Structures are given as C-alpha cells and as structure tokens.
Structure 1
C-alpha cells in the first residue's frame, strides 16, 4: 500500500472510507510485487495499480462491492488464461493473489500516523493479516520510528507479539515480506499469514575514489535510489562540481570516514581507488562490518596483491569471501558509464541473491517472490564468469 501512501494519508486525515486491494502473493512473471496496492474511495476515485492494467477493471468492481455492500474482506486469484480471449487474467503468464478490504480510518488511527510517517520519508512498517480466520482478515498493526514502537492490534496480545519481532527485522532491512506466524502454543494458537509493508530511508552507496568511474557510478546509484557519498582524501579531486549526482562529497581518508559514518545491512561499498594506501585500511574495516555489498576495482594482479595484504592484516578467509573483486559483472565494460552499469548490475544481483546470468541461459520464472534465485542455471551456462574476467577492467 505504500506505493500510494500520499493519497491514502490524505484520505485517512479526511476520515474518508476507502477500499484497498493489495497484492499479497505472486508467482511466475507477475508484473508487480507483493505490497503493491490499488484503492477506491466512496466517490469512485481510484489510485494505484496492481497489474499494469490486466485485471484492474474487475478489481475496481470488487472494491465497489466491499465499499457499498459492506462486504467482508475477500481474496481473489488471477492467472493466465489463453482458452478464452475475453477472460480476465494476466497476459504475462504469472499469478497474483489479491486481498480486497474496506478501510475505515476512524477505526484505525494508527494507520493515519504510519502513512504520514511514510509521506515524510521516515521509517515505518505496517503488518496486515492477509490469510487467517475471517474475523482477523485485513487487520493491521503499525511500527513507527527507528525504535519500532507499535500501535494497533492484529486481534490480541499473542498475535501482536508474534508479528512485531519479524516486522522489526523487515523494517531494519527495508524489505516488504510475507511472514507466517502462530499455529503453536508459544506464539498464538491461530496460524496467520501477515504481509509486512515497510518504508525505510534510502540505502547508502559509499564510493571511495574520486575518479571518472565514480562520477558515472554516482549517477547510476542515484538513479537506483541510493543516497550516494563520494569520498577521497585528495581535495583537488573530491569536489561537488565533479560529482553533481552525489548527495555528498567528502574529503577524508576513506577508512577514517567509514569508521565515523552510519552504515547498515543495505549499504553498498564501492572501492575504486585500487591504491593500497587507501584500499587496505578501508577494506580491513569494511570486511568486518555488517554491510550489504563490498566491491573493489582492480586487475587480477591488483586483486591478488590486495588479498595477500588483507590476509596479512588479519582479515580471515571467510571475511575475504565477502569481497567482490574485481568489481562488477563481466559485461566487457570499458567506459566509465559501461563500468557503472556493470557494478550496479552486480549490486542488484547480490542484493536479490540472483545469479547474474543472462535470462536466456536459465529456466524457471523471470520474476520471483522469495529470496531464492529466479533462475536455475542450465548445465551449459553454469560456469562462473568471474573466473576469467572482471566487469570493470583495468591494467593495474
């Protein structure tokens, strides 16, 4: 529902009832991920999309039904149908499950607060029961702020307690996800499926080395929604004029800046200096932190020398395994712009636990709803491309 948070926030503040249709589960090549929502108010105004247009018409009718007939929350599934050209379905070949419910803002004041937090860019999460006993279906609970204090209820103290810990973890990761809770004496007797919608501050991309590659990478990182910082110890190179797409440009020794700045499990570190004076103390620290991605530019020779120096500095084999070096996917990149695409492609694949293989070299669905790879590599394409060449090619 956070894709339409600004409109829903306004409707809640006006105490305007609305019907909410939420994508709660997808399989195959579904067009939009879980958590995406469409809403219709009592005047028939519609906002959002859940399928790119394939099933919006019938969803609109379901929304009108729950609004005006006071119908209980209802679930619907839509898949691909080529047997009947006039049947409602998805043309992409996937399947989506939708929950449609009536929302009375006056009955859920915590929802207004959480949506306002999202609109203001502050962290918040909303847990929504999408499967379970009929009397609990559609209930919500909100987590507000960095300390994740919660408000609202999913039906009782046991249900709330069972959901909050998992919702807090998803909020810290900035990830919307489906959680199964309950069904045992230690949590709550009723088994529930809960969709946790999360909004967190933009993840950070820290680029070390004020070089031409950094200029292109900062632009690509900003395009992907990262809060980009470029850091270099040389003030003549680290200027805002050279990096207009970065959110900030810092003049400092890389390892000293990393030690002082805020990072988390979504932070991407890109080391582009390939200079041991900067790289070794920086990576020695970075590889010991719980960061999302760590990559370093350099040739094979630079990579081997860097690994040896890090090993001598006390970095363990397990910690070294977290280093993506040479940085980037093997795209044959040469220009700064091509290299930026190579690096960001690897970051995306790493974040999604994907293979990075061409889609034509695998089988299975293109899109996925879980954390496993969307592709099962064919035997002929299972070779790791990083064994022969890196994405960002240099001669150092």
Structure 2
C-alpha cells in the first residue's frame, strides 16, 4: 500500500502532546519541529488523522521538499514534483498560503505566483493540454520555507481542525478547541475525576473533556476538503474511519463536569454548544462567580481561562478577581488547579506554580500555570 508523509501543525509548545496522539494512532514520526510534526502513514491515514487527532490544527499531505535560494530554484523544484499523482486534469488548484522564515525568498505573493506557474507547467506537459478549466474539486496548496528549505503540501483539511462543528457561538476571548484539548491532556485529569471550570464562557474546556471521556473523535461531525479527492483517496477510507469512530464512542459513561460563569448569556451559549456536541447530558452549567466557588468533594480538578485584561476596562478589576481566585483555590486545598492566562501578576496573587508552560491562545502569548494538589489515597481492593 502506498505510504505518504503528513504534516500536522499545532500550537507552539504543545508538540509533545500531538506526538503522543500520532503514536497512539500507530503512525511513525518522521520529524518534530516547532509547531509541526511530520509523520508517515498510508493513504487511509489522511482520513484517520483528520477525524481522530484532537490537538492538530490541520493535516497537510506533503508533496515534496527541496532547497531554493532563488525564484528559479523554486520554479524548477516545484515543477519536478509529481502533481499529476494528486491533482486531476479538471482539479481547481491554487496556492492558498505561503509562509517563509530565515530564508532568501520572503515575498509571499511572489512565492505563490511562481509555485502556481510551475504546477501549471508540469501538468500541461503531463496531461498534454494547453489550458485547464479547473471546474472540478478543490486542491489548495500550502508552501512553507524555513532556512531556504521549501516544503510544499496539499491541505487535506480545509476548515481548520479546531472548528469541530459544535461551537457556533463563542465568548469574547474564546480558547481554541485544539488548545483546550491539549491543555487537558497535559494534566493528570481522568474521566473518573471531577472537573470544574469557574470561567466556562462558551464551554470549550468542558465540552472537550466530555468528548475525551466518551472517546468521541473530534472530527466525527464535520467535513474535510480531501473527502472529495477520490482520484487517489478512496471514499472507503472515510466510511471505514467514521465506522471506527462510531464503534469507539462510549454512550454509557458518567462524568462529573461543572461549568460556572457570572454571565447568564454565556451560560446559554455554553449549553447550546454542549447540546450541539451531543455531550450536554454530561455537563452541569450554573451561574456563579469565582468568589462563591466551593465544592464538598475532595481531590478535584479546576481548569480555567480567566480574563487577561486585554481590554482596558478589565485591567482595574483583575487584582480583585485574582485575589478571589486565590481565596477560592485555598478553600479547595486538595484540588489541582490549572490556569491559562497572560496576566503578568498571576504569581503575585495565585502563588508560585508547581510548573508552568508558555502557550499561545491565538496571537496572545500566555502561561499555563499548574498547581498540583495531593494525590488521592488509593482505593482498597
């Protein structure tokens, strides 16, 4: 069976989480770089990676890689790639995005134009035609140049993977679904343990946790660009992967997931999002401020994306808010707490964390503060 290399971009600093996911799917890691992982699989892996990976932003099918110091190098290197193996004669193809870093070629529009011309030149020769109607399915191309090394790929995903399909309504500072899933995977939280989000907003952390607990594949209920590429990717790959995903879902699971927010409008949105994700029966949402956070159960988990102070009008309220967080956290002294924020004075109010990790929520750089609580006593057999 034909093997291909796939590239999975992810959030910077969270490559280890995605690597573990890819290995769990049974695929071979080729290269780990900042913000992306290359791995080897068969063609069916295109469907499985898109549907099962929780922390990848998209799945790119690598067509080739080469050095280019000039635009002539770029043209000739692109022209040598076997485009006819992937794009049919009537396929609509264009360079959707070109990015470059630490390279002699830096003009994205010029890179896009030259790669497209080289592709046309190659395919004219292979298909023995002088014109392409491009009235078939879409085959978007992405070009990435780092230190003069060009990597060209087809975007198999289309709409980014963080858009699972359930979150039609969002809060003012939403956390991406892929980032929420990755941060949950960095904690020792397990589906049998209580999880509380005191700033739940549109419910992303809890919905992702519920999907993980149910073993529900994140891409089950959405479509992908490459579903239409039947010229080399059989439809059967998608049908088989959806059947696999459906068979793995545990509908009988019971979980204790609780989301609080002071804004009733956000709670309404969160409930609707949970319902659209088909996990609303597992999550309890309630209007409550963080200063009122209490819970009788020990050894629970808190995960939170509190206000950062990005808006000027919020900055004055942050000291009081983070003081209230600290007081609430102290009451839950056996709990583990995890907070993603870009607020510079977080440690001043919450204390020194057990550990922290730099992360990006969109373009906002922040820290993931991890306050590990004591381990619960072992249950007697």
TM-score, normalised by the number of residues in structure 2: 0.27
Structure of greater relative contact order (alpha carbons < 8 Å, 6+ residues apart)? 2
